[in-house]
Chain A
Amino acid sequence: MPSPTELEERIATALPGAQVSVEDLTGGGDHFRAEVVSDRFEGLSRIQQHKLVYDVFGTDIGGAIHALSIKTSTPGATP
């Protein structure tokens, strides 16, 4: 069962320099919410930003990770 820390590490490895915070929404280890701030998102549409995060997990999304809610932003953006 993946842990929030494991998810944070996987995102941080794939997007070096990103600020990542993952919480387990249900405590059940399968519904997560990730907030990711990265300059890699600069100039990308929301869809492209979220895809970058989904791509970190590939087929684990819908598998071991039943649901991953994502919020992305760039360091300069207002929340």
Chain B
Amino acid sequence: MTNDEIRSFIENAIKENKVILFMKGIPNQPACGFSARTAGALNALGVQYAALDILPDPRIREELSGLSGWPTIPQLFVDGELVGGSDIVMEMFESGELAELLGAEAPEEPFEPEPQPEPVQRGIGLENRLG
């Protein structure tokens, strides 16, 4: 895959998925604490989201950050717009804004990152097309 193909794949993924999280690892096997917390917040709200692992090819992160202007991972997009990284997502989770944005019920239980509830993961399989 060329860099342009990766970029347009990412653009389409953001367009086609109402909620998409670019992360290190996958929701039930996050490879970084920031990604784990962010996926955990989405899982706690029980919303359905697409997740894309940026680790299989360094160009995914380069193209994503080029598109979004955001330097770090994870990155959460809702309705095609960058919502933020883990700090912003966690602040919004704690304030209830994230539940509101996603049209979810705020969880009654206090947030516990571990163990995570059943992930609602929908892989989009970019990793299978790289290499």
Q: Which of A's residues lie within 8 Å of B, judged by CB? A: 46-47, 50-51, 54, 59, 61-62, 67-71
Contacts and interface: CB of A to CB of B under 8 A. Distances in A.
A50 B91 CA distance: 13
A71 B84 CA distance: 12
Given A46-B84, A50-B87, A62 B72 contact: yes
A67 B84 CA distance: 15
Contact of A47 (B34, B71, B86, B88): B88
A51 B72 contact: no
A47 B87 contact: no
Contacts of B83: 47
Contacts, number: 33
Interface of B: 34, 61, 69-72, 82-88, 91-92
A61 B71 contact: yes
A47 B87 CA distance: 10
B34 A50 contact: no
A50 B85 CA distance: 9
Given A50-B87, A54-B71, 12 more contacts: A46-B84, A46-B88, A46-B91, A46-B92, A50-B84, A50-B88, A54-B70, A62-B71, A67-B72, A69-B86, A69-B87, A71-B87
